[in-house]
Amino acid sequence: MGTDAESGEFVREALGVAERITADGSSPWPVEAGRYRLVAARACPWANRVVIARRLLGLEDAISMGIAGPLHDERSWRFHLDPGDKDPVLGIEYLREAYEKAVPGYDKGVTVPAMVEVASGKVATNAYAELEFDLATQWSSLHREGAPDLFPEKYRDEIDAVGQGIFHDVNNGVYKCGFATTQAAYEKAFGALFARLDELSDRLAGQRYLVGDTITAADVRLWVTLVRFDAAYHGHFKANRQKLTEMPVLWAYARDLFQTPGFGDTIDFDQIKQHYYGVHSSVNPSGVVPLGPDTSGWLTEHGRESLGGRPFGDGTPPGPPPASERVPALPA
C-alpha cells in the first residue's frame, strides 16, 4: 500500500504473484486436492472473500486453511495465534517466507489471501479476484453437492460491472479515505464511497441480492466491507457520514447475509479491530483498540425474506465450519 506524493491519494500496490490455479492446463499450477493451503486472516476483507467462497463451495477438505493473526510488522503477516508462532502445516512464522521461496529476493507486498503449495512451501498466487473466480469454476469437480453458482454465466457481465464499482469506490474506497494524506484526496474518496453506497442501497431496496435472485460473487464483494464498516472504517478510516446501522437497506442486507451460513461464521470482530487499530500506526499511533461497537444487532431480524430470492439457488447451505475454523459466537 502507498500514497501518491503529489495528490495524497491512496494507491493499492500491484499483486506480486498473480498466477492462477486451473484445471484446464492454462497455468503452471493445476487443481489438485490437498496440494495447496489457503493462508488467510480473519481481519482482511480481501482474504475474507476467498474464505467465504471456499466455505460456500465446500472446498474445506480439498484446500486446508491457515490463519495469520491480526498483528504484523514490516516483515509481513505472521502466525502468532498458532502454537510456537508457526503455521502447523507450512512450518513458517512469517508469510513472507513462502513468498521468498516462490520469488527469491521478493520485494513486493506480502498479502493475504495467498495459496501456498504445501510440498514446496511456495506461494502459487495471491491474485484474490482470480482465485475467487477459479474456486467457483476451475475447482468445480471438488465442490460439495449442492454448492451454489457464484458466477452464473448469464450474469457474469453484470457481476463484473457491479463488482468494479464496488471495488473502486467501496472495497478500496474505505482505504482511500483512511490513508489519504490531503483533504482533497480524502473528500474525493469520501464522496465516491457514499455515492456508491447510496446507489447500492437504491438497488437493494427492491431486490434481495445484487444480481439475479441468488447470492453471487457481487454480494460477497460488497459484504466483506459492510461487515467491517462500523467496527473499523467508520471511525478508523473516517468514513463517517453514517454508520452502517444508520443505513436501513444496507444494514438489513448485511444482517441477512451475516445470518446466512458461510458469511457470519467467518467473522471475528475482535481480530478485525485488533488489526486495523493495532497495525496502522500512521492512522492510529497509540495502537489503542476500541471496545465497541455493540455487535449483538447482527443477529436481529432483517425482514429481507419478503423480497423473495433463493440464497443458494438450486443448491443448499454449507454445513458447519470445521471445528478448527470456528469463530467466537456473538452475544445473543
Domain boundaries, the chain: 2-142, 153-325
Find the catalytic residue in 44, 155, 186, 276: 44
Does the domain at 2-142 match CATH 3.40.30.10? Answer given as yes
Kindly report the CATH number that applies to the domain delimited by 153-325. 1.20.1050.10
Alpha-carbon 221 to chain mean position: 7
pTM of the entire predicted model = 0.95
Find the catalytic residue in 36, 175, 209, 277: 175
Buried b (16+ CB within 10 A) or exposed e, 66-95: bbbbbbbeeebbbbeebeeebbeebebbbb
What residues form the annotated binding site?
Answer: 77
- Residue 253 is among the residues annotated as catalytic for this protein: no
Cell of residue 247, nine digits: 443505513
- Residue 177 is among the residues annotated as catalytic for this protein: no
Residue corresponding to grid cell 475467487: 132
322: how many CB neighbours lie within 10 A of its CB? Answer: 12
Q: What is the mean pLDDT of each run of 10 residues along the chain (332 residues)?
A: 62 72 93 98 97 98 97 88 97 96 91 97 94 97 98 98 98 97 97 98 98 98 98 97 98 98 98 95 93 96 97 97 94 74
- The pLDDT of residue 108 is 87
What residues form the annotated binding site for glutathione?
Answer: 77
Provide Rg for the chain, Cα atoms: 19
- The pLDDT of residue 132 is 96
- The pLDDT of residue 74 is 78
- The pLDDT of residue 11 is 60
